[in-house]
Structure 1
């Protein structure tokens, strides 16, 4: 593996067993890499498998087929010590931080527990210095630091969730739509904060979002997902080119609609065809699109699209 690559996903598939006759295909043959110190964004509608992919990176869900490599090691074949190290190196910020936090603890106590978990040999003074450093990094209002979690406003909960992720001094943070429920102004603040932390601490991010407009300007690489498959892989400069997957074009237009009219266009949540996952909604679909799954091809430098329009 390239030394600059922190995460590599190879032919990754994930199925969930419904019963002995039926399996739900959540992810199908994903392939991508995340370089150290960069931001990779997975973008797609709700239900396309983005969060399932993110949970696999933190080793919460094993792949059904394929492999996920972290720093050159297959996470499915790690021993217990390596898994423990991985849990420290990779953290996740959940879409609903309130559900992942103990409501009966203060912010200070919650962060202290995380620091003790990952750095148990530290002295009391070292622990307090670490907590102060983390709270300064996230710019949490001082009067909230001794408040109970359930007393905090939603916006401050997002900051606490970021603080908990930082407590372990991670290398990779999976941001599972941490801004979806907040207003546009606070979303911009969170994105700016995460980028500042990346520059200061050398962090690597996997952003998971249904809003292409929010992440495209801060991402080094962007993967567009539709019903468990990657349909486009590119960077933010090439994302505005004329050569795009039809689904990406729809996401771009929906971003404009969301910004102006505050409504979203919902697509399918179940894949019905053996061919392209987007065939039933695509204006350019032909017979080959129904019968054959398009392969990911490079249509220009660093721009990959899975669409028969570019065969």
Structure 2
């Protein structure tokens, strides 16, 4: 077996809440709770789940934009969980991120050319301005924009064009792994397909590896090699994309799948309606976090913390009922 490109071991991230006269820590938001997975070179791992389940926090932890509370992040066999300084800068050449909102993630005071040149300067990748300009032209061609766009500012572009700039910026330093943090959720539906197809073409052309975070289950099915389903900071199910969509095991995954719209209403299966709201990550339920909303829950679910176990070949889920 080859070494996985990225290995995450029992990753935990909590955000402290301060209060009182002395501004002491009174509680914490348990955003990510013991997540583990591996991803091999060239794969796309899809991360799905409701808003607030910890998908984006997990992605930012992998980028080291957030420091982890505990656990390990191992990239290409090297533990990068606590690296700093030049080591961290070198690591960020290999792992890049595409943000959800392309307008908020681009500096409004910089031209597109300056935005794309900045990572080349920071990482000392090219010796001369001419070499940097050649690389910028290569990037702008790669994402389907025109070279005369380089002297314009972000506000002069549409959302889809701005996201193409964000993709070009992520590609500038020749990364191996890109965290796609809901890269199409802020775009019109007509533009989403163009950006998704661009990402898939770039993956084939450049040999990229993706972690694809999204709400749209059909998009994730289309782009992903494997899919991990998150609920309240934990991965509750993971399998190959085709297997997960054909044969979901966890009751939460089944509820998500039942919500996917189908073109032919005659083929629509019964919708699974979950009761109640998502519990607070400040004070998650005991036992299985999903038990207050689970239609299959029994008394044991209130006390037993289920672990991810193999339910079939390459298909794991954390539920004592399946």
Q: Of residues 48, 52, 55 in structure 2, which corresponds to 1:50?
A: 55
Q: Residue 67 of structure 1 aligns to a residue in which SS?
A: strand
Q: How many residue pairs get matched?
A: 306
Mapped to 1, the partners of 2:64 and 2:264 lie a distance apart of: 35
Matching of residues 219-230 of structure 1 within 5 Å = 219-230=224-235
Mapped to 1, the partners of 2:153 and 2:81 lie a distance apart of: 37
In the alignment, does 2:93 pair up with 1:83? no
Q: Of residues 90, 97, 106 in structure 2, which corresponds to 1:101?
A: 106
Report the Cα offset of residue 103 of structure 1: 0.8
Call closer, same or farther: CA 1:121–1:160 in 2, change over 3 Å. Answer: closer
Matching of residues 118-137 of structure 1 within 5 Å = 118-137=123-142
In the alignment, does 2:76 pair up with 1:68? no
Deviation readout 1:220-244 (Å, 9 max, x if unpaired): 1110000000000101120133342
Mapped to 1, the partners of 2:37 and 2:118 lie a distance apart of: 35
Matching of residues 187-198 of structure 1 within 5 Å = 187-198=192-203
In the alignment, does 2:280 pair up with 1:270? yes
Which residue pairs with 2:218 in the alignment? 213
Which residue pairs with 1:281 in the alignment? 293
TM-score by length of 2: 0.89
Report the Cα offset of residue 113 of structure 1: 2.1
Gap regions ≥5 residues in structure 2: 19-24, 266-272
Report the Cα offset of residue 142 of structure 1: 4.6
In the alignment, does 2:10 pair up with 1:11? yes
Deviation readout 1:21-64 (Å, 9 max, x if unpaired): 31221111111011111111111111000011000111111211
Call closer, same or farther: CA 1:14–1:258 in 2, change over 3 Å. Answer: farther
Matching of residues 19-30 of structure 1 within 5 Å = 19=18, 20-30=25-35
Which residue pairs with 1:41 in the alignment? 46
Report the Cα offset of residue 129 of structure 1: 1.5
Gap regions ≥5 residues in structure 1: none
Call closer, same or farther: CA 1:153–1:243 in 2, change over 3 Å. Answer: closer
Matching of residues 108-119 of structure 1 within 5 Å = 108-119=113-124
Mapped to 2, the partners of 1:164 and 1:219 lie a distance apart of: 22
Mapped to 2, the partners of 1:62 and 1:102 lie a distance apart of: 24
**Contact kept in structure 2, 1:10 and 1:30, CA below 8 Å:** yes
TM-score by length of 1: 0.92
Deviation readout 1:214-265 (Å, 9 max, x if unpaired): 11122111100000000001011201333421111111122228999xxx98
Mapped to 2, the partners of 1:21 and 1:106 lie a distance apart of: 44
Mapped to 1, the partners of 2:237 and 2:264 lie a distance apart of: 23
Query: Could you list the runs of 4 or more consecutive aligned residues of structure 1 that deviate by over 4 angstroms after TM superposition?
Result: 257-260, 264-267
Give the alignment's Cα RMSD to 1 decimal.
2.2
Mapped to 1, the partners of 2:200 and 2:47 lie a distance apart of: 17
Call closer, same or farther: CA 1:86–1:259 in 2, change over 3 Å. Answer: farther
**Contact kept in structure 1, 2:221 and 2:245, CA below 8 Å:** no
Q: Residue 261 of structure 2 aligns to a residue in which SS?
A: helix
Mapped to 1, the partners of 2:86 and 2:108 lie a distance apart of: 30
